[in-house]
Structure 1
């Protein structure tokens, strides 16, 4: 296949899927209050609707990245897209919160198969001096999904109901699935090697135990889960040092750019996903805005991401991408810090200012950080590097949501959000933002340490 058309086809598919999954995730945030009313769900259960999606992704990203290296990245990518599309359609027929949660898990499995391999496919097709632009274009598509998601999510939920969101997701998924069938090229860089099943199991068990234990620190069994998770993670490390075909090549972490690039991505994504969740609750419950109005406000940060991300991608091809990602972390921290000062009087103007700064920071960080990590490894490890970065991002999102869940469960308990406990809700949301601001500040230093 002509390399020019190969690049074009990968970008088309990358744009479609990069739009689809953030669109689904951000639109669902605006439908959460409607789900809570229809299925009588608590605030903690609403948090788990977002968290379980991220948890499944974190567990499966690396195994599916490795499977893509062995059996073909495009093949696993395509299967994931099919699973994601079918589960989106079935989600519209949920009759309980538990049923909806189950289909979210299926969506997450498909998403893990897709994004464990997307960045590897892009890195394989584009030379290093063009990757920043390619990542900038696909990241712009991510942010377009984040813009349209809240707006359409709010409008559709308000006008025709939340179930219609999943019919729309299905249509987009079908279009993307058709696009990938036209793409004939594939990469199988580890053909004949074996998947480390034991390592995959230990990694999954350790992540479940650590994340669930952290998210439920108020329960007496959480300490045992954390200890068990650390033990399983230690066993995973020992297995990786001894097997012929490890799930993760630990030598990759000898690169400072790879290690600290991933650590900073963990921190950045912890703030990114949690801020959107917090704002959705704040605007609808405390400010009394409709889902559509709340969606329009939340989309401000995503508009800034769309504006900034292509510029950040091109800039990363011209100067050190690490400096671009550090600048992004600085702006992200300032944006979250300003959000902690929002109250009922200054919300209209301070909220918009903080969202503009926060969105610009995420836009600068996303593509430049991806290039830092992917360019720090040899092409033979693109698959596992892509999967590791996606895994770390999901872990960061889980960690950020875990902070919010911990604070909300401590202050609100397991009660449904009602006017009688709005005072506790605003305290929990403000404390969550303070914690995320501190976390983002730490990310500035880890970004500097990558050099």
Structure 2
């Protein structure tokens, strides 16, 4: 049996393996973090501040961290970011106040800001343009594989042993992944700078304001707006409609199950022709699903909708990632990825505190708001920026295949 292309590619095999393990660490903790905070006396408004502070830290740091990874390579930012996250995760064992929970979420945000742009840029570094949809689909599938059983396992552990065991287990995994990154990413941990006349070629900042990139940035904002909106309230919403700890964990896993199973098809679709139609249809479908989550407060219905959302996301997310890579200048991949994720985190930060405020008015309002924002911004981004860019054949300087340093890797 022939392996999928992403598993035949040695650098991607390493990236996907590390990503899957990181997904396990996240899946063990995230479904139960807000519930733990509430159980330890943290108010709903402070839980909203937890979510927004985590996202604001990323919003402020992802762009400069992306620039840093262009200069020093990808390996060190990835490893150090994971170690920072591990330290914060251990801190939750002792957290007992709103201030301590908020501070630890800020630290986790700093860690993710260091590693995420570097990891996304590394995927571009090591894959050809015509395969990037599959590469990003594999990236999402690997993360989903990590998330698949971790939330369910976390729910069982939380009910039998307690949440502190989850925090310690997740931190251990994050430290192991950091060590794995240092060891196994050696040799393909970043691009060589493009050099002309003996100096690194400088790319003006206005390249980030090109119309094709603006379309991708708007969609990043719209997509992450949903993440921020529900990061502080999802587990609480599930608990309020009668879900058990296991069902709360399962509500995170159903999305991952569908994503994992359908990702190969979604990746191939993302690499096939223009992407604007797929982005338009997929985002509008997700918008409808988000609204339905709030209108039908049934645990079973929500679990089934999670499967549908995961299936649609296998087309939506790789298509957006591949589109972004196709219109990005090879010399500033870290900067572009940093800007993309920074703008996304801006959307998430704006909505994170808003989610708890709206939920306090009525549980359905955050879902109606999230669906409407996604639908409106999708129509603007796709029809105003992405469709003209693709039909016009616009393309910035494409990233070379595996523009990777083959020496001097110790310095990276």
Is TM (by shorter chain) over 0.5? Answer: yes
Structure 1 runs, 4 residues or longer, greater than 6 Å off: none
C-alpha displacement of 1:353: 4.4
Report Cα offsets for 1:171-206 as digits up to 9, x if no partner.
Answer: 2223312322232223355599xxxxxxxxxxxxxx
| Matched residue count | 373
Q: 1:311 aligns with which of 255, 259, 265?
A: 265
| 2:67 matches 1:42 | no
State how 1:26-425 maps to structure 2 within 5 Å: 27-38=29-40, 40-180=41-181, 181-185=183-187, 186-187=189-190, 189=192, 249-256=205-212, 258-275=213-230, 277-284=232-239, 286-343=240-297, 347-348=298-299, 350-408=301-359, 412=360
| 2:382 matches 1:447 | yes
Q: 1:435 aligns with which of 366, 369, 374?
A: 369
Residue ranges of structure 2 left out of the alignment (5+ in a row):
1-5, 196-200, 388-412
**SS, match of residue 295 in structure 2:** coil
Q: How far, CA to CA, are the matches of 2:86 and 2:37 in structure 1?
A: 21
C-alpha displacement of 1:96: 3.3
Question: CA 1:62–1:23 in 2, change beyond 3 Å: closer, same or farther?
Answer: same
Q: How far, CA to CA, are the matches of 1:135 and 1:79 in structure 2?
A: 23
Question: CA 1:273–1:49 in 2, change beyond 3 Å: closer, same or farther?
Answer: same
**SS, match of residue 235 in structure 2:** helix
Q: How far, CA to CA, are the matches of 2:288 and 2:37 in structure 1?
A: 33
Report Cα offsets for 1:84-134 as digits up to 9, x if no partner.
Answer: 223323432334332233222222211111102111111111110121111
* Bigger relative contact order (CA 8 A; separation at least 6): 2
- Give the alignment's Cα RMSD to 1 decimal: 2.8
C-alpha displacement of 1:372: 0.7
Are the counterparts in 2 of residues 266 and 393 from structure 1 also a CA contact under 8 Å? Answer: yes
Question: CA 1:60–1:399 in 2, change beyond 3 Å: closer, same or farther?
Answer: same
Are the counterparts in 2 of residues 334 and 357 from structure 1 also a CA contact under 8 Å? Answer: no
Question: CA 1:21–1:106 in 2, change beyond 3 Å: closer, same or farther?
Answer: farther
Q: How far, CA to CA, are the matches of 1:331 and 1:5 in structure 2?
A: 30
Are the counterparts in 1 of residues 47 and 232 from structure 2 also a CA contact under 8 Å? Answer: no
Report Cα offsets for 1:126-163 as digits up to 9, x if no partner.
Answer: 11012111111111122234433432332222222221
Are the counterparts in 2 of residues 151 and 295 from structure 1 also a CA contact under 8 Å? Answer: yes
Report Cα offsets for 1:27-66 as digits up to 9, x if no partner.
Answer: 333242232222x110111122222111111110000111
Q: Which residue of 1 aligns with 2:405?
A: none
Question: CA 1:189–1:91 in 2, change beyond 3 Å: closer, same or farther?
Answer: farther
Q: How far, CA to CA, are the matches of 2:140 and 2:302 in structure 1?
A: 24
Report Cα offsets for 1:318-352 as digits up to 9, x if no partner.
Answer: 23233332232022012112223214xxx255434
TM-score, reference length from structure 1: 0.75
Question: CA 1:149–1:389 in 2, change beyond 3 Å: closer, same or farther?
Answer: farther
**SS, match of residue 440 in structure 1:** helix
Question: CA 1:303–1:275 in 2, change beyond 3 Å: closer, same or farther?
Answer: farther
Q: How far, CA to CA, are the matches of 1:289 and 1:69 in structure 2?
A: 45
C-alpha displacement of 1:25: 6.7
Are the counterparts in 1 of residues 135 and 267 from structure 2 also a CA contact under 8 Å? Answer: yes
Q: How far, CA to CA, are the matches of 1:448 and 1:309 in structure 2?
A: 26
Question: CA 1:273–1:306 in 2, change beyond 3 Å: closer, same or farther?
Answer: farther
Comparing 134-143 with 321-330, greater Cα deviation is found at: 321-330
Q: Which residue of 2 aligns with 1:418?
A: none
Comparing 181-190 with 384-393, greater Cα deviation is found at: 181-190
TM-score, reference length from structure 2: 0.81
Report Cα offsets for 1:293-336 as digits up to 9, x if no partner.
Answer: 22223422332222333321121122323333223202201211
